[in-house]
Amino acid sequence: MPNYGPAQPPSTIDWTRCAGVFDVDSKVERLDELEKLSGEADFWLDGDKAQRLMKERNDCATSIATVEEPAAVLRDVRDMLDLAELEDDLGFLPELEAQLDAVAITLDKAEFARTMSSPTDRSPAILQINAGAGGTESADWAQMLLRMYSRWGEAHGMTVELLDEVPGEEAGIRNAVLRIEGDFAFGWLKAENGVHRLVRISPFDSAKRRHTSFCSVFVVPEEDDSIQIDIDEGDLRIDTYRASGAGGQHVNRTDSAIRITHIPTGVVVACQAERSQHKNKSFAMKMLHARLVDLERKKRSAVKEEIEAAKMGINFGSQIRSYVLQPYQMVKDLRTGWQTSNTAAVLDGDLDGFMRAYLLAAAKGEPLKALSDDD
């Protein structure tokens, strides 16, 4: 925290930004309404409704406190700075700076919490990785991404499950599907939708030339109960095949792997994680449901998405992040400009900085214009 001096209150802090960001006025009005409702004689006649309203009441009170308590601290600090100026006493400035640091941390956490406001943000995430054109190079890059997201999930105490994997012809994988379950799994991972670009000296090129590889990452929430999807068995083509991969007597011995094609939409899902064909089919149907829900959600909000896409300049299928290992070390998000030279940590799952930058910018409605690597 910089030393502002006794005559200068912290001008870099917007004293009213809390209220603007969290819309305190509407929260206060709603809290008053809920207080009146909870006091009515017939409030508890409908138990389920009453519990929902009480939860909303508590959420409103928490939101208001999140703003008002730091604001009170900021007012006290400003008063103390004025007093320090009058008395020419700098002795308690370190304590005031510590209070400002604590307030800044609290506000950052509260502001980031706003990015996780959608009901689907708490859902498990289904993450699919697809290698692009480029043969072995892209297949190896896809496997690196699979490891990166697995390590990210494990570092956050999440359950990471490999539902499907198709090996590459020589190395790596052509595609893979992960199920990641934990606190706000989809809320975090929705920042990863798009095309990821790798630049490096190829380990498969005897001439040690530099290669560029692309992979796409597609993330959907496992379920969305607000959208009902009825899947007609007659619209499905279900294929069984032998599981591929390393280890175990079961592998390549029975046709336990399942591939389901939804004929009307062309959506294809597969699962070979379990030994039981029945369990693999169950997982595959969950994935299919999630994909169809995602399609329906996009269909219902097509106009809004067109507006947002025009504003942000991005959509699924565009390059969102560049991982450069040669001739220099740099990972850069082309939507937000967030970057780091610690490429090893990123490829080992250290993605929070990139995710936070994207989610905060999206929540604020900031333009997310695709940049070049040189910007």
Identity of residue 64 = I
- On whether residue 54 sits in a domain, the answer given is yes
Note the pLDDT tens digit of each residue in 161-191: 999 999 988 899 999 999 999 988 999 999 9
Q: What rounded mean pLDDT belongs to the chain? A: 80
Cβ distance 90 to 3 under 8 Å? no
pLDDT at 250: 44
- On whether residue 9 sits in a domain, the answer given is no
List CB contacts of 210: < 8 A, sequence separation 6 or more.
Answer: 199, 200, 201, 202, 326, 327
- On whether residue 208 sits in a domain, the answer given is yes
pLDDT at 174: 93
* Domain carrying residue 44: 17-116
Note the pLDDT tens digit of each residue in 194-223: 999 999 998 888 888 889 999 999 998 886
Domain boundary among 116, 132, 149: 116
pLDDT at 2: 33
In this structure, the answer to whether residues 278 and 334 fall within a common structural domain is no
pLDDT at 150: 97
Domain boundary among 88, 116, 144: 116
In this structure, the answer to whether residues 217 and 311 fall within a common structural domain is yes
CATH for 80 = 1.20.58.410
- On whether residue 374 sits in a domain, the answer given is no
In this structure, the answer to whether residues 147 and 210 fall within a common structural domain is yes
Domain boundary among 300, 327, 355: 300
CATH for 192 = 3.30.70.1660
**What are the CA-CA distances from residue 276 to residues 56, 167, 238, 270 (Å)?**
43, 21, 15, 14
Q: Assign 245 a pLDDT band (cuts: 50, 70, 90).
A: low
In this structure, the answer to whether residues 241 and 217 fall within a common structural domain is no
In this structure, the answer to whether residues 129 and 208 fall within a common structural domain is yes
Q: Which of 55-64, 118-127, 248-257, 348-357 has the highest mean pLDDT?
A: 348-357
Q: Assign 303 a pLDDT band (cuts: 50, 70, 90).
A: very low
For the cut 70, the answer to whether the pLDDT of residue 16 exceeds it is no
For the cut 50, the answer to whether the pLDDT of residue 12 exceeds it is no
How many domains is the chain built from?
A: 3
